Amino acid sequence: MAPTDPRLLPHNLHWQGAASFEQRDPTLVRMRSQPLVFRPALLDAIPHDTPGIYTLVGGRQVGKSTLCKQFLADRLASGAAPERLAYVTCEPFVDAEDLRRVLTDLLAELCPARERCWLLLDEVTYVEGWDRVVKFLADAGQLDTCFLLATGSDRMLIEDSLKRLPGRRGPAEVVDFHLRPLSFLEFCGLRGRVDPTELRHCSGEPLAAAVVESPFVAGLEAELRDYHLTGGFLPAINDLARTGEITTATFRTYADWIRGDVLRLDRSERYLREVLTGIHRRQSSQVTWNAFAKELSIDSPKTVADYLTILERMDVLQIVPALVEHTGRPAPKKARKVYFADPFIHRAALSWLGEDDQLASDARLQRDLEGVFAAHVARIGEGFYIKADGEIDVAFYERRELQLVEVKWSSQLRPEELKEIRRRGRGLIAARVARSVVYEELPVLPAAVVLLRLAARAASH
């Protein structure tokens, strides 16, 4: 296939033959050079044989481009003709008209005589008006037999654009996908340091199912400590596998992503630093935007909310509302909790801020663990905290039943910190214990076991 534009050639080496793509594609070459190679479950979930317009969102450096290249490799392996596949990174395009011209010519070659084809548009939000280009192509009939996957790092920009494509998405039941960092279950499975049979068995058990003290449970706690260092980000996980520590360059890559994407939206770097510092200092605490603004030089709570919303839709933050139990909905006027969505992202932000994190490893884990639980619950559905006479860290609905979890990275449980869950007499406590115990008739389980089971539930959604 003769490329319509020289900018397309470096990422479409399969046009020179499937073997050339496997051997020389720069993304696949880098992937294979790593100690640990991960295959996202989304590769099998995306309906690749159904024409339509699909989206894949997720923070930068989470693996969207690698997933696209793995997708192409899968299609080639399944027998798709190389000339029916194309990958387009949208960063080099100057505007929507430039993109439209290239895609119009490309689709004429990809889908002659209405043959099935696959077109991957990576980081589409770099091109303002990309959605109008896709609408134009769809209305012209050029996408009738095309599987088109558009990826982007800003969920809101993608979602706003999709409002302009009603009735053009295709027949598939699910058309929008979200790639997140590796869950704790995926992390453990990738590293292979705990027995895979026991991993599958334990993760599939009910959330509060008892466990006995064993080498497996001890191994899970060790994995949790490493997960706290790397989070679910493969570059950090591979750094740790290769050298035993995460490189400065890896921290800088993620800090530059946060800074760069916020600046691209014409926001202030100084305000960003203040907001991230405030989140670090207030993590796990209830906060209103008014109170947050009073701690910063930012006068307006609305401006604070704007920055927090941007960071949340970039998958940097997890914002957790209080629950109104009689409605099952968020409490609009109560304080929220704000966490970093991944412990590694927290560490990367601290490296950029120059914050000296002097806490011992257990104190750091206690600081971040509640946020790790909240982020895993968000993969299942909407997560909350409960504020009544006391507080419950994590609440979510599973099969319409309210699940309650207290997260305490401690083996010494303090009654005053468990006031609300004790009053209710239901729920469970995830703590630093080596086996299941009972505290005032409440089950207490190793935190790593509970997190593993939450991750398994997320994988089934």
pLDDT over threshold 70, residue 330: yes
**pLDDT tens profile 174-208:** 999 999 999 999 999 999 999 999 999 999 999 99
pLDDT at residue 344 greater than cutoff 70: yes
pLDDT digits (tens, 9 = 90+) for 82-137: 999 999 999 889 899 999 999 999 999 998 878 899 999 999 988 889 999 999 99
Using CA atoms, how far apart are residues 224 and 241, in angstroms rounded to an integer?
Answer: 15
For residue 151, the SS3 value is strand
**Comparing C-alpha atoms, which of 280, 251, 272, 269 is closest to residue 61?**
251
Residue 162: what pLDDT? 76
Backbone φ, ψ for residue 20 (5° rounding): -60, -40
Chain-centre distance for alpha carbon 35: 22
Mean pLDDT of 422-431: 94
pLDDT value of position 356: 66
What pLDDT is attached to residue 158? Answer: 81
Mean pLDDT value across residues 300-319: 93
224-228, 249-253, 341-345, 357-361: range with lowest mean pLDDT: 357-361
Domains, the chain, in order of start with CATH, read 6-178 (3.40.50.300), 184-459 (no CATH)
Q: Do you know the residue count of the chain?
A: 461
pLDDT value for 4: 65
The pTM (predicted TM-score) of the whole model is: 0.93
Question: DSSP H helical segments within 231-360, as ranges?
Answer: 234-243, 248-264, 269-282, 289-294, 301-313, 343-353
Distance CA(186)–CA(239), nearest Å, equals: 17
The H-assigned helical ranges of 140-233 are: 155-162, 184-191, 196-203, 215-230
Q: Is the pLDDT of residue 1 over 70?
A: no
Q: What is the structure's pLDDT at 358?
A: 59
Q: What is the pLDDT of residues 196-241, one digit of tens each?
A: 999 999 999 999 999 999 999 999 999 999 999 999 999 999 999 9
End-to-end alpha carbon distance in the chain:
39
For a pLDDT cut of 70, what percent of the chain falls above it? 98
